[in-house]
Structure 1
Amino acid sequence: MMIQDDNPYRHKAILDPSGKYQLEWLVKWNEKRVIFNVTVATNGYVGFGLSRKGKMTGADLIVGGVGKDGKPYFTDRHAIGNQLPKLDPSQDWTLHEAWEKGAQTFLSFSRPFETCDGDHDLPITDDVMTIIWAYSENDDELQYHFQNRGGYNVYLLDPDLAPREMNNLRRNNGEEGSTRVFNVTGSITLNEEDFMYWCSYHKVPTRTKQHIIGVS
């Protein structure tokens, strides 16, 4: 499942300083699913995961690659401490494609925003998440202490990547849909001083917790 170049909602990132681990992701808003493509400079296994605080403990992980027999392998795992990631009873990540070419491994996989495996999977929300990445030089043995590993903070559901249809939710001054728009106005008389500080307070028209996704 390749991400097309003309898709306006794709995003790319290089996760490691040497450029050996490249990520591309696409938010499928109508399916409430995120597709991930990773290209890694290795012929060994590839690790990829989601974490709330950048730590292994509690992370939602996959390990995949292409074996010496040319067949792909792919597992949904979770980290519980200073030990090897454990297999999830419910395999909620989906592998779409896997291949090796030269010294590179390519994996395409996806996961819904929410799964029914709340004990082992993290929900994908509009909050910041840490992508945990790792890779090995071989396929033979999964190791806890990856030699090549790191973390990358990202907003996977960045509002800037939202489809154009979401603009329809902003009609009637934001009274319809899940995205609300309200105007803040005020006036001030400037004095003749070189510097002036102005502080004002405004009541937000809601009593529930909200996320501000844009100010203009």
Structure 2
Amino acid sequence: MSSLLVLFLACLAGSSFGAVEVIQNGTYILEYGLVNNETLTVTATVATQGWVGVGLSQTGSMVGADLILGGVNADGEEYINDYFAVGNARPIVDLENNILTYNVTENATHTTLFFTRAADTGDIDEDLPVSRSSYIIWAFSDSDSFAHHGTERRGAIPLSL
């Protein structure tokens, strides 16, 4: 399926996300859903001008998680990448980038991270398939450097699809 078609389908699904989670009194708003049970669509709108992270976890912790981190740097250039975590430490870049489409924007108060990826990428070493027993983990920072987010700027919620 072409990236343009996936983006079109994601846009159609944009008004009917499977779930909308308002986290930390609206500091982090997470919208996500599945298009045709094949493509995960995620939009995270966060009150920050630093990086934004969203991930899948089997346990709700960072250990073993499949992560997408992105933001807009000081030069106004968007950045986004696919990562995996082997512990509660800086994640490792996934050599098989499974992001299908993305858009990262930033204004004076918020960073918005949108991406799509296959519900099951087939990358069994560094990606987790979307399943009803998964957790969505989230984190953010006020900085574009991948400094530690601290305990107040991260969490986990059960996947609700």
Which bin holds the TM-score, normalised by the shorter protein?
0.7 to 0.9
1:133 and 1:151 in contact (8 A); partners too: yes
2:24 alignment partner, one of 17, 23, 30: 17
CA displacement at 1:12 relative to structure 2: 1.3
Q: Which structure is higher in RCO with an 8 Å CA cutoff and minimum separation 6?
A: 2
Structure 1 residue aligned with 2:160: 155
**Which one has a larger percent helix, Structure 1 or Structure 2?**
2
Larger radius of gyration: 1
Q: How many residues align?
A: 153
Give the superposed CA RMSD. Answer: 2.2
Matches of residues 19-58 of structure 1 in structure 2 within 5 Å?
Answer: 19-29=26-36, 32-58=38-64
> What letter is aligned with 1:44?
G
Matches of residues 1-216 of structure 1 in structure 2 within 5 Å?
Answer: 3=11, 7-8=15-16, 10-14=18-22, 16-29=23-36, 32-125=38-131, 127-143=132-148, 145=150, 147-156=152-161
Structure 2 residue aligned with 1:198: none
CA displacement at 1:105 relative to structure 2: 0.5
CA displacement at 1:116 relative to structure 2: 2.6
2:19 and 2:160 in contact (8 A); partners too: no
After superposition, give the CA deviation of every residue in 1:144-195 in whole Å (9 maximum; x if it has no partner).
Answer: 7465111111233xxxxxxxxxxxxxxxxxxxxxxxxxxxxxxxxxxxxxxx
Structure 2 residue aligned with 1:185: none
After superposition, give the CA deviation of every residue in 1:72-110 in whole Å (9 maximum; x if it has no partner).
Answer: 000100110132111111011234211112210011101
Partner SS for 1:18:
helix
Task: In structure 1, list runs of 5 or more residues that go unmatched.
Answer: 157-216
**Which one has a larger percent strand, Structure 1 or Structure 2?**
2
State how far apart, in whole Å, the 2-side matches of 1:82 and 1:38 are: 22
CA displacement at 1:9 relative to structure 2: 5.2
Query: Normalising to structure 1: TM-score of the pair?
Result: 0.64
2:29 and 2:46 in contact (8 A); partners too: yes
> What letter is aligned with 1:143?
H
Partner SS for 2:34:
strand
Task: In structure 2, list runs of 5 or more residues that go unmatched.
Answer: 1-6
State how far apart, in whole Å, the 1-side matches of 2:140 and 2:82 are: 16
Query: Normalising to structure 2: TM-score of the pair?
Result: 0.84
State how far apart, in whole Å, the 2-side matches of 1:39 and 1:6 are: 14
State how far apart, in whole Å, the 2-side matches of 1:141 and 1:9 are: 29
**Residues 1:89 and 1:11: Cα distance change in structure 2 (over 3 Å):** same
Divergent runs of 4+, >4 A = 1-10, 144-147
After superposition, give the CA deviation of every residue in 1:121-156 in whole Å (9 maximum; x if it has no partner).
Answer: 00112x222111100001023437465111111233
